[in-house]
Amino acid sequence: MIKDITIGQYIPGESFVHKLDPRTKIIISILFIAVLFIINKFVGYIFVVAFLAAIIINSKVPVNFILKGLKPVIFLVILTSVLNIFMIKGTPNSLLFHFKFISIYKEGLVTAGFMALRLIFLVAGTSLLTLTTSPIELTDGMEYLLRPIGKELSHELAMMMTIALRFIPTLIDETDKIMKAQKARGADFDTGGIIKKAKSLVPLLIPLFISSFRRADELAMAMEARCYRGGSGRTRMKKLMFTNKDIIATIVFIILFVISIGVRFI
């Protein structure tokens, strides 16, 4: 399960999506999340699926890699759906099932369906941002978009967010190594119920925290050795520049955005 987390990983490539300006991809990702919550009819998600399929095919990111990234959120999707089905009440005419204190309404099923699709598309869409954008490009893109709050502060925030994303795969690999080492010493992480499995993971926290602090200290010393001084007077090897590809991607997404609004109100 730990190996299935794909957020923060980057797959190098030369596709149309890879070559887009990071600012374009960040803005489209934010608006894509908004689209998921604007749509209130299932037919609207047909266009979302088509949009994601086009990006996946063009970026040449393996479909199995996208599906693997959805595995960690399956439990959350199921839990959210079950809670919506049994907790949301509707009109007496929409009652579908009733047994003692259990009642299932049409509104509950519809809401559960919407929440499940939103979570799945949310994870798939945001994963594509990090899978097709290098950490350096993400830092530059976020720093530029955060400039209204101040050049120095925008750089620091962008750097922190990018380092956090970049260290997700590293911490996952570290956790996997610690688990294998403890299994070799007789630890059991696979048997028992959910509570027992959760308790068995507690011994992982101390070595994982120690490893994380050690890596953070090594990163800080490496940055100081390279005379890193934040955003003040900082130069760039590659300057961000919008191209025709960004215009095309923006137009395509605007069409999707307009369609989603139309589906909601028509």
Q: Is the pLDDT of residue 1 over 60?
A: no
How many independent structural domains does the chain possess? 1
Q: Looking at the domain assignment, is residue 33 inside a domain?
A: yes
Q: Looking at the domain assignment, is residue 66 inside a domain?
A: yes
What residue type is 236 in one-letter code? Answer: R
Q: Looking at the domain assignment, is residue 88 inside a domain?
A: yes
Q: Looking at the domain assignment, is residue 184 inside a domain?
A: no
Q: What is the pLDDT of residues 91-147, one digit of tens each?
A: 777 788 777 777 888 888 888 888 888 888 888 888 888 888 887 788 788 878 877
The pLDDT of residue 234: 66
Q: Looking at the domain assignment, is residue 229 inside a domain?
A: no
Q: Which residue has the higher pLDDT, 234 or 27?
A: 27
What pLDDT band is residue 52 in, cutting at 50, 70 and 90? Answer: confident
Q: Phi, psi (5° rounding) for residue 50?
A: -60, -40
The pLDDT of residue 4: 55
The pLDDT of residue 230: 66
Q: For residue 72, what are the domain limits?
A: 2-166+241-265
What pLDDT band is residue 8 in, cutting at 50, 70 and 90? Answer: low
Q: Looking at the domain assignment, is residue 87 inside a domain?
A: yes
Q: Is the pLDDT of residue 38 over 80?
A: yes
The pLDDT of residue 192: 67
pTM over 0.85: no
Maximum average pLDDT range among 28-32, 129-133, 190-194: 28-32
What average pLDDT does range 142-157 have in this prediction? 76
**23-27, 103-107, 190-194: least confident range:** 190-194
Q: Looking at the domain assignment, is residue 219 inside a domain?
A: no
Q: Looking at the domain assignment, is residue 224 inside a domain?
A: no
